[in-house]
Amino acid sequence: MPRIDVPVTDVVRAGVAPPTEVTGDAANNHIVTNDGRVFLVARNSAATTTRNVTIQTPGTVDGLAVADRVVAVPISSSKYIGPFPTATYNQSGSDQGKLYVDVDNAELRLLAFRLPL
């Protein structure tokens, strides 16, 4: 199945209402449009286990793979993750301009925001 889209909410000076969280999907994982000004909010709804969010890094440097960014989200907590430089994190090909965001469990909830210039 295709990756699940996490809609990006633009942050504006007048304020925005909180968007609906996207429930983590560890089988299909997620995709986020990224222009370098995007950050994620990952909320762990688990009461007993730290959960991980992985942002894939598809590139290489001098022929060596760039390690994916893995962020641990503590029990019943949230982490703000990003922004993501496009040259390091964006996919190429049919998913050009997109981040691949993987979760290890459905107890993770995701939001994506874009900062203004």
User: Could you give phi then psi for residue 47, rounded to 5 degrees?
Assistant: -100, -5
**Other residues' Cβ atoms within 10 Å of the Cβ of residue 40:** 24
Rounded CA separation 84/78 (Å)? 18
Q: What is the pLDDT along the chain (117 residues), one digit of tens a residue?
A: 899 999 999 999 999 999 999 999 999 999 999 999 999 999 999 999 999 999 999 988 899 999 999 999 999 999 999 999 999 999 999 999 999 999 999 999 999 999 998
- Letter string b/e over residues 54-91, b meaning 16 or more CB atoms within 10 A of that residue's CB: ebbbbeeeeeeeeeebeeebeeeeebebbbbeeeebbb
Contact 87, 77 (CB under 8 A): no
